[in-house]
Copies of this chain bind each other. A is one copy, B any other.
Amino acid sequence: MDIAEEIKGIAQRAREASLQVARLPSEVKDRALLMMAESLMEKKEFLLTENLKDLEYAEGKGLSTAILDRLTLTAEGIEGIAEGLRQISLLPDPVGEVVKMWRRPNGLLVGKMRIPLGVIGVIYEARPNVTADAAGLCLKGGNAVILRGGSEAIHSNRALGGILQEAMEKAGAPPAAVQVVPHTERKAVEEMLKLEEFIDVIIPRGGEGLIRFVVEHSQIPVIKHYKGVCHIFVDASADMEMALEICYNAKVQRPGVCNAVETLLVNREIAPHFLPPMAEKLQGTGVEIRGCNRTHQIIPEVKEAKEEDWYAEYLDLILAVRVLDNIEEAIRHIEQYGSRHTEAIITSDYGNAQRFLREVDSSTVLVNASTRFSDGYQLGLGAEIGISTTKLHAFGPMGVEDLTTTKFIIYGNGQIRTS
């Protein structure tokens, strides 16, 4: 059979399974999640063996240590994945909730009922943990999922897919609601992206290149973020100690993730006092600072920032620093160079705090806290399928609820329309 036909078959089975899984009682879904966790623990050795095949292949191909790192499963890592599934089983079931209901003058009772999205396609790169995380979240939301991981992780993903499907079956849930695409060719992705009839939404996770490819080729709606160029603005009235702690945390605690800070904006009044200790603290951890002219005047030894630095998502121990006249300029800088991901203000000024929250057009805006909190777990969503910087459907960190939508349900007693 050719790939197009095979992908279509997978999608059709997912569509059928989605109708069943949408109607599953919460306890069946939760039992399936617990059985998935149990099976992963039981088959740990098998998973590690399969993962080793991927690692050997990747080493042979000379892939970077960063990729090898993301690709590697360990006994501890598998325990973490299992624990994640158990946690998802403890979340409230969003499906069937009536979020609002009102009566119309003609007596119609109109409500909005939460329902699954249907079939979700997840397209991702090396990380095999996404396979289990995404499967668990989609199942909890009553959805079927088609998982298409990177070719580097194909043995790990196939093994995970088999284990998850077996657990689904044991729990009385349709196994076709969790399918791993066994093909590593790019054509498999292209075919998936055409199947608007069977797939309701595509969630790509990975580098900007993958995401742009998906957006350009998809006829199915895509929820995504390209990158996170996160800003912190240190206002004139900032508490210096707090600003130091938060900036340090946002840059250094985990520099390789999308909610780490990339550009620091500093009010010119506080800059001469704030920048020298900040630079000392950061440079002590090996952070390279690239500053604007005014930054350079205050700390002469910093590298000069170029125009492209304001757009950069370093994902590394590098920080761009710019000194600005006021909050207006900070908001304008974020508007021009930002990625609508996450921005924070450090301030003691009530008006500036409220203004920053209201006017900054990003998916997460914080006052006096680290940008690193822009994350589903940290915000209390329970778990996270990803972060959206597109405003449609979901904007910001997405939990299980964002894998549902609402339909109108209407109770009448014979109403007809007269005009």
Interface residues of A (CB under 8 A from B): 19, 22-23, 96, 102, 104, 108, 110, 113, 115, 117-118, 196, 200-201, 215-216, 219, 221-223, 239, 242, 245-246, 248-250, 253, 335, 353, 357-359, 361-370, 372-374, 378-380, 390-397, 405-418
Classify the interface of chain A: helix, strand, loop or mixed: mixed
Shortest C-beta distance, A290 to chain B (Å), equals 23
Q: Which of B113, B249, B392 contacts A393 (CB 8 A)?
A: B392
Q: Which of B23, B117, B372, B412 contacts A369 (CB 8 A)?
A: B412
Q: A366, B219: Cβ atoms under 8 Å?
A: no
Q: Which of B118, B216, B416 contacts A249 (CB 8 A)?
A: B416
Q: B412, A117: Cβ atoms under 8 Å?
A: no
Q: How far is the CA of A353 from the CA of B411 in the complex (A)?
A: 9
Shortest C-beta distance, A226 to chain B (Å), equals 10
Shortest C-beta distance, A249 to chain B (Å), equals 4
Shortest C-beta distance, A100 to chain B (Å), equals 11
Q: A22, B361: Cβ atoms under 8 Å?
A: yes
Shortest C-beta distance, A168 to chain B (Å), equals 21
Q: A369, B219: Cβ atoms under 8 Å?
A: no
Copies of this chain, whole number: 2
Q: How far is the CA of A390 from the CA of B200 in the complex (A)?
A: 8
Some 20 contacts from A to B, beta carbons below 8 A apart, are A104-B378, A104-B379, A110-B380, A118-B391, A200-B392, A246-B414, A249-B416, A249-B417, A250-B416, A253-B417, A353-B411, A357-B409, A365-B410, A366-B410, A367-B411, A369-B411, A370-B416, A373-B417, A379-B410, A397-B408
Q: How far is the CA of A392 from the CA of B221 in the complex (A)?
A: 7
Closest B residue to A249 by CB, please name it. Answer: B416
Closest B residue to A110 by CB, please name it. Answer: B379
Q: A412, B372: Cβ atoms under 8 Å?
A: no
Given the interface pairs A108-B373, A408-B379, A408-B397, the reply to whether A221 lies near B365 with Cβ below 8 Å is no
Shortest C-beta distance, A392 to chain B (Å), equals 4
Closest B residue to A22 by CB, please name it. Answer: B361
Chain B residues with CB under 8 A of A396: 406-408
Q: B407, A368: Cβ atoms under 8 Å?
A: no
Q: How far is the CA of A253 from the CA of B416 in the complex (A)?
A: 9
Given the interface pairs A414-B246, A417-B378, the reply to whether A409 lies near B365 with Cβ below 8 Å is yes
Chain B residues with CB under 8 A of A407: 361-365, 395-396
Q: How far is the CA of A379 from the CA of B121 in the complex (A)?
A: 33
